[in-house]
Amino acid sequence: MKVIHVSAECYPAAKVGGLADVVGALPKYQTNLDYESAVIMPYYNNKYAKDAKYTSDFECEVALAENNYKAIVYKVKNSFDDLGFHLYQIKIENLLDRENVYGYQDDTERFIAFQKVVLDWILQFAKAPEIIHCHDHHTGLIPFMLTQCTKYKSMRGIPTIFTIHNAEYQGEFSFEKLSYLPEYDLEFSGILEWDYAINPMAAAIKACWRYTTVSPNYMNELPYSSTGLDWLFDTEREKSVGILNGIDTDVWNASTDTMIAKNYSAKTVEAGKKANKLVLCEKFGLDPNKPLVAFIGRLVYQKGADIMAGIFDRALDANDINGLVLGSGDPHAEFLLNELKEKYPNRYNTFIGYDEELSHLIYAGADFLIMPSRFEPCGLNQLYALRYGTIPVVRTTGGLKDTVKDIGEKGGFGIRHEHVTVDDVALAITRANKLYNDTDEFKRIRKEIMKIDNSWENSAKEYIELYNLISK
């Protein structure tokens, strides 16, 4: 193996959000470029694990203070042929093997144990990997342990890359749990520390060889982002590279997607989207003759969840459109979105929950997809929308700025707005409605956007170039 990706999520084994999509696709594209890659992630007690066939690859014990846990590294049988990369999952009984990925009181313990087992597993390799690529804070202690812990001294020469998918979540915990980490020279505790706590994201930025952000613009924003690590991002900037996420065009392909009602291509986009919209509108009691504006995502502050109901209320009041939201998260946002259904019967609907299949149908059947994000490290939804001929309406931030050009600009194909306010987003939706009614232009744009190449090919190459640069 040349590169080992370490992550809490990987599609299709476990997905909460975009992290899973990236870790489930990038390694496959790297393999296609003859760069053999593997993913190691936790084993969760979910449907994927129940259906998968495993072989045992390695066993060890992992200690957390006075508790010892049995850990097994499983390899998913045929993963290389089925997924395009070797997939390994770590089962730690009574700790990591829960139904959900996150959300437990002992998440800190769970992911520390996971990271220790990852390194114990690599430690017994006959041939070390050329790169260890860590994703987000759940894997952020690995660069620290590799460079500082006595146990892993022999692996110090393995370069580490740390990719920030979302700098808002940093995984900080108290120094009272310091004893969970393997032995190291306490003089170097400063590497772990940020604001009097152990901060895995900060530790990763300090200890890794290079860190990357999932879009170039997000990298530029981080030093002013109010994540609390602004200063660190500014001082460590020389180590950073912004590489735009891509999409897996095998999974996200309207002409082969088995989760949508009718397959279509850029050539058949009008008939294809019409058929999908019809099914979607029937399912949610909406009028297929009106433009359909949708939102898909985690209902959190980042995504503008707190004003989502207000946005749709204002936009539906001002325009003859339909609205549809798929998501879950903040209970108050869920409540307000559900309440809106009563105010706009047959014009608005909400689906609270996580539904992969429905998300595909929405990308295929909607006319517009809104992303009123306060910040967006890259964003994949707008890329999926484009690929399915759905026009994105996005805030000018992070990766959204890198990937969506406003129709007011030369060669523009989306709608952008500057602020995350009800007024600004509703105004952007009004522009979308106007575009919908300019039939020729609307049809031209949706044909064009389906042809934009946002696949992983180029970005997978950029990562490999970075690996080659530091592993020489």
Ligand X SMILES: Nc1ncnc2c1ncn2[C@@H]1O[C@H](COP(=O)(O)OP(=O)(O)O[C@H]2O[C@H](CO)[C@@H](O)[C@H](O)[C@H]2O)[C@@H](O)[C@H]1O
> For every residue of 126-153, which 3-state class applies, written as one string?
CCCCCEEEEECHHHCHHHHHHHHEHHHH
Q: Is residue 454 involved in binding ligand X (CB under 6 A)?
A: no
Taking the complex as a whole, the smallest distance from the CB of residue 214 to ligand X amounts, in Å, to 4
Nearer to ligand X, 98 or 303 (CB): 303
Q: Binding string to ligand X for residues 111 to 150, with x set by CB under 6 A, is what?
A: ----------------------------------------
CA dihedral 108, 114, 115, 118 (to 10 degrees): 180
Does residue 355 interact with ligand X by CB under 6 A?
Answer: yes
Q: Which of 83, 378, 420, 460 binds ligand X (CB under 6 A)?
A: 378
Find the part of the chain contacting ligand X (CB under 6 A) among 14-22, 90-98, 139-147, 304-312.
14-22
Q: Which is nearer to ligand X, 129 or 399 (CB)?
A: 399
Question: Does residue 380 bind ligand X (CB under 6 A)?
Answer: yes
Long-range CB pairs of 180-186 (<8 Å, 24+ gap) are 180/64, 180/65, 180/109, 180/112, 181/112, 181/141, 181/145, 181/149, 182/116, 182/145, 182/149, 182/150, 182/151, 182/152, 183/149, 183/150, 183/151, 184/145, 184/148, 184/149, 184/150, 185/148
Structure tokens at 150: 């006595």
Total residues contacting ligand X (rule CB under 6 A)?
A: 26
172 lines the binding site for ligand X (CB under 6 A): no
**Separation of alpha carbons 425 and 394, rounded Å:** 8
**CB closer to ligand X, 236 vs 376:** 376
Residue 98 interacts with ligand X (CB under 6 A): yes or no: no
Cβ closer to ligand X: 46 or 268? Answer: 46
**Residue 216 interacts with ligand X (CB under 6 A): yes or no:** no
CA R_g for the chain: 23
Tell me how crowded residue 78 is: count the other CB atoms within 10 A of its CB: 11
Token reading at 15: 């997905």
276, 359, 397, 454: which one contacts ligand X (CB under 6 A)? Answer: 359
Instruction: Please report whether residue 182 would count as binding ligand X according to CB under 6 A.
Output: no
By the rule CB under 6 A, 297 interacts with ligand X: yes
Backbone φ and ψ of 165, nearest 5°:
-90, -25
Q: Is 331 in the site for ligand X (CB under 6 A)?
A: no
Query: Which of 327, 365, 372, 389 is in the footprint of ligand X by CB under 6 A?
Result: 327
147: left (phi over 0), alpha (psi -120 to 50) or beta: alpha
Residue 18 binds to ligand X (criterion: CB under 6 A): yes
Q: Six-digit token pair at 63?
A: 């200690």
User: Does 177 count as an annotated binding residue?
Assistant: no
Residue 17 as a binder of ligand X (CB under 6 A): the answer is: yes
Residues 239-258 that bind ligand X (CB under 6 A): 245
Residue with tokens 């194909």: 413
In the complex, which residues of this chain contact ligand X (CB under 6 A)?
17-19, 21-22, 165-166, 214, 245, 296-298, 326-328, 354-356, 359, 376-381, 399
Q: Which residues are annotated as a binding site for ADP-alpha-D-glucose?
A: 15
Q: Which residues are annotated as a binding site?
A: 15
